[in-house]
């Protein structure tokens, strides 16, 4: 976070990371992109998951929360 506002402490960011079961992601994307193989979709999901996890793990500029999609969908309260 290199913006001046973040560096001055004028903004207090809050990161909410939503994670969905990879199998569900692959199934959804397979329907949307039938020309892509499950292997291609899986590899992309793993790469993006790792990038997002690294950002989340290294985020130190404020509060953060991890939300699992399946838990939110089954217990929205």
Dump the DSSP string for 6-74: HHHT----EEEEEE--HHHHHHHHHHH-TTS-HHHHHHHHHHHHHHHHHHHHH--SSEEEEEEHHHHHH
pLDDT at position 13 is: 80
Give the number of domains in the chain.
1
Q: 3 in a domain, yes or no?
A: no
The residue segments making up the domain with residue 38 are: 10-74
pLDDT at position 7 is: 65
Q: 27 in a domain, yes or no?
A: yes
Q: 28 in a domain, yes or no?
A: yes
Give the tens place of pLDDT for each residue, 19-76.
Answer: 999 999 999 999 999 999 999 999 999 999 999 999 999 988 779 999 999 999 998 8
Q: 1 in a domain, yes or no?
A: no
Has residue 1 got a pLDDT over 60?
Answer: no
């Amino acid at each position: 976070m290199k913006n001046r506002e973040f560096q001055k402490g004028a903004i207090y960011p809050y990161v909410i990371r939503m994670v969905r079961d990879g199998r569900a992601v692959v199934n959804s994307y397979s329907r949307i992109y039938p020309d892509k193989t499950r292997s291609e979709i899986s590899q992309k999901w793993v790469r993006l998951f790792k990038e997002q996890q690294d950002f989340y793990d290294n985020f130190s500029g404020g509060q953060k929360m991890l939300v699992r999609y399946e838990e939110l969908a089954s217990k929205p309260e």
